[in-house]
Structure 1
Amino acid sequence: MTTTTANPVLRVAPAFPAEAAAHFRSRLAFHTDVSDVAAPLAADGDTGFVLVDSRSTESWDQGHVPGAVHLPTALIPEQAEQLLDKSVPVVTYCWGPGCDGATRAALALAELGYQVKEMLGGFEYWVREGFAYDTWQGREQRDRDPLTGPVDGGDCGC
């Protein structure tokens, strides 16, 4: 007698293709990634969005994405309208994938009427992917982590 173990991947059947397409399209409406944010910022033109760092002042000083607006989540209700234009989409970020700060900031902004996306990976992946960042002491940059993309800086093909 043999015992079979259910395949954990298929324990719940995959969604039908149309449902899967709707789900993944929806996810892209709410999220973007570090590389996709970096590309228009590097082009030095109108990005079509404003990038918001929702962390504390101490975190901002430690390092932040160049060109980002500093707006800690707790201050969004009282300061968003002075710093942001509701006609321009907002992209939020916080520390990294282990932090819900960007999600909380995105929620607060959406509740105020802003179109908003969350930058997956946050500041952690900005640095790990080798993009320059600003600190209170000036601009810094680290080598790309080979676990985040090609070490030669080429396109990952995503």
Structure 2
Amino acid sequence: MPNTATQNPVTQNPVTQNTAAVSHFAERLRFETDVSDVHAALEAGTPGYVVVDSRGAQAWAQGHLPGAVHLPTAQIAGRAAEVVPTGAEGVEVLVVTYCWGPGCNGATRAALEFAKLGYQVKEMLGGYEYWVREGFTFESSTGPDRRPADDLTAPRWAVSCDC
């Protein structure tokens, strides 16, 4: 009788060398961040990065992260230098891109455009959707707003998931 554990999609390709796993996950963290980490950095006033909303004008007006700059993906090549500030001694800051959410790869396309221009860049996983769903304050054309945390994405009464 065949070993059904090896036929299961979860277990059929086990990691045989831990170094490969360490390398894989470290690489992901070099280029990805999430809404909780960005929120914590914004709240702490951490310097050295700029958050870029790569969506269109209507999406920006509907809501965006506080302190984010608006630069739709199609405009990155032509306007990045004027929109993204440089850090000390002309060194460019880290760019963190976001778009709608996990069902959209707009932040990935925006990150690629910044990388092609030589910027250090990370993609914010979860995008605007998870920012709002985790209960963080956002800005809209009518001012700051906030929704209660969705208990499927974040604990309702805690600052973060503590992961």
Please, which runs of 5 or more residues in structure 2 have no aligned partner? none
Conservation of the 8 A alpha-carbon contact between 1:91 and 1:118: yes
Question: Secondary structure of 1:37's partner?
Answer: helix
TM-score by length of 2: 0.90
1:62-81 equivalences in 2 (<5 Å): 62-81=62-81
Aligned-residue Cα RMSD (Å) equals 1.4
Q: Against the structure 1 CA distance between its residues 13 and 127, is the aligned structure 2 distance closer, same or farther, given a 3 Å change threshold?
A: same
**Structure 1 stretches of at least 4 aligned residues deviating more than 4 Å after TM superposition:** none
TM-score by length of 1: 0.93
Which amino acid letter does the alignment assign opposite residue 115 of structure 1?
A: Q
Conservation of the 8 A alpha-carbon contact between 2:36 and 2:160: no
> Partners in 1 of 2:70 and 2:130 — Cα distance?
18
CA displacement, residues 51-97 of structure 1 (integer Å, 9 cap, x when unaligned): 00000000000000010000000000110011113620000000000
Q: Against the structure 1 CA distance between its residues 10 and 106, is the aligned structure 2 distance closer, same or farther, given a 3 Å change threshold?
A: same
Deviates more, 1:97-106 or 1:3-12: 3-12
> Partners in 2 of 1:80 and 1:145 — Cα distance?
34
* Same amino acid, percent of matched pairs: 56
Give the paired residue count: 156
How far 1:46 moved relative to its partner? 4.1
Please, which runs of 5 or more residues in structure 1 have no aligned partner? none
Q: Against the structure 1 CA distance between its residues 128 and 15, is the aligned structure 2 distance closer, same or farther, given a 3 Å change threshold?
A: farther
